[in-house]
Amino acid sequence: MILTKLDRYIIKKFLGTFIFIMVLLMSISMVFDLSEKINDFLKAGAPWSEIVFTYYANFFIFYGFQFIYLINFISVIWFTSKMAGNSEIIPILSSGVSFNRMLRPYFIASSILVVVTILMTNYVLPKSNESRLEFETLYYRDFTGRTNLRAQVTDDQILYFRGYNALLDVIQNFRLEKWNGDTLDYVLESGSARGDSLTNNWHFDHYELRKFGTFHDTLTFRTNVDTILDFSMGALVFKTNVIESMNNSELDEFIEKERKKGSDKVPIYLIEKYKRWASPFAIFILTLIGVSVSSKKSRGGLGINIAIGLSIAVLYIFSMQMTTVAAIKVGFAPIIAVWLPNIIFGFIAVFLYVKAPK
């Protein structure tokens, strides 16, 4: 395919505006984020080099590609409206170039963004997010808690606990049951337990171990016990956002483990998995909507087109939130919840394309 002067002109404007809008929006986001967290960073002793190059460099990459479809949409609205306002589009169409032909460079540029986004989301961002999340764990407060957990942690072990205090990093009312088929072998109970997030090392201030025998039981009390169990503390009080640091194979493996444990958060993990593919393809849909809406010169100029574009963006985000909540709360299939906004706005894109001036 040979790129004409028109193709190169539109692609250059498209990608140039996109980069400008991304840098502008992410810079504003980082300023607001820093103003909110600076006291916590300094109080925790975070070095400025790590704040800038570890946290905010990865912050820029993560949120930039998390919302790339909206940044792309705003970019298309912006530069296409300026072209229409400068009476550039009318001469293009009047010269014999069809509206479909004019769309070609838009979709070439969109394809570049889609490919880059898929590669970044599935292969680069997980490692980048790992660095960002490690920084947050070290230097930013975390009041995450979890209560009343019941989970099958291994094939023959069931765990119950009443609560997890993230400030003290303590599990309260810990009870572990070991089963042999339908027979209960032993129960280990402790008022408080501490475990390593990465290894299977555990510490109990005190515990009670009851072993069940054929004719009599054995009861053991111990204090200040260090031991190794078949699971880590991180597997029990897992933070949902840590899945952002997993690549596709790691995420699939983790989801399968959570299914076996009977976790009620599996839909959240599946939504993250499907979003890695659905969000990039939203770029195509929103590009078509953006061109269709802003290619006509309007009396309101650039402002009215941006207002229309932002309204559509808000509706898109709202539909995503609605379907996500439906998947988490009422059992809506996660894959449908993720792709449904694309399907709905795909029809809207086709309708606006048909109505666009040609």
Distance CA 7, CA 1 (A): 11
pLDDT of amino acid 147 = 65
Strand 183-195, strand 170-180: pairing: antiparallel
Task: Quickly tell me which residue has 């919302």 as its tokens.
Answer: 67
245 in a domain, yes or no?
Answer: no
Residue 136 lies inside a defined structural domain of this protein: yes
Determine the 3-state secondary structure of 3 from DSSP: coil
* Residue whose tokens read 């010269």: 95
Same domain, 20 and 112: yes
Q: Are 246 and 126 in contact (CB under 8 A)?
A: yes
- Domain-embedded: residue 255: no
Give pLDDT, residue 234: 65
In a domain, residue 253? The reply is no
Domain total of the chain: 2
The reply to whether 60 and 201 lie within a common domain is no
CA 212 to chain CA mean position, Å: 46
**Amino acid at position 141, single letter:** R
pLDDT, residue 24, reads: 95
Residues 221, 153 within the same domain: yes
Rounded to the nearest 10°, the torsion over CA 235, 241, 243, 246 is -120
135 and 151 housed in the same domain: no
Give me the domain span that covers residue 212.
Answer: 145-238
Residues of the chain whose pLDDT is less than 70? 1, 141-147, 165-169, 197-198, 234-241, 261, 298-303, 357-358
Q: Do residue 279 and residue 231 come from a single domain?
A: no
* Nearby residues of 274 by Cβ (< 8 Å), 6 or more positions away: 334, 335, 338, 339
pTM score: 0.71
pLDDT at 76: 92
- Is the same domain home to 155 and 105? no
pLDDT for the residue 143: 44
How does strand 157-165 pair with strand 145-154?
A: antiparallel
Question: Do 133 and 149 sit in the same domain of this protein?
Answer: no
Same domain, 55 and 202: no
Helix (H/G/I), strand (E/B), else coil: 318: helix
249 found inside a domain: no
Q: Report if residue 260 sits inside a domain.
A: no
* 133 and 54 share one domain: yes
Please tell me whether residues 12 and 79 are part of one structural domain. Answer: yes
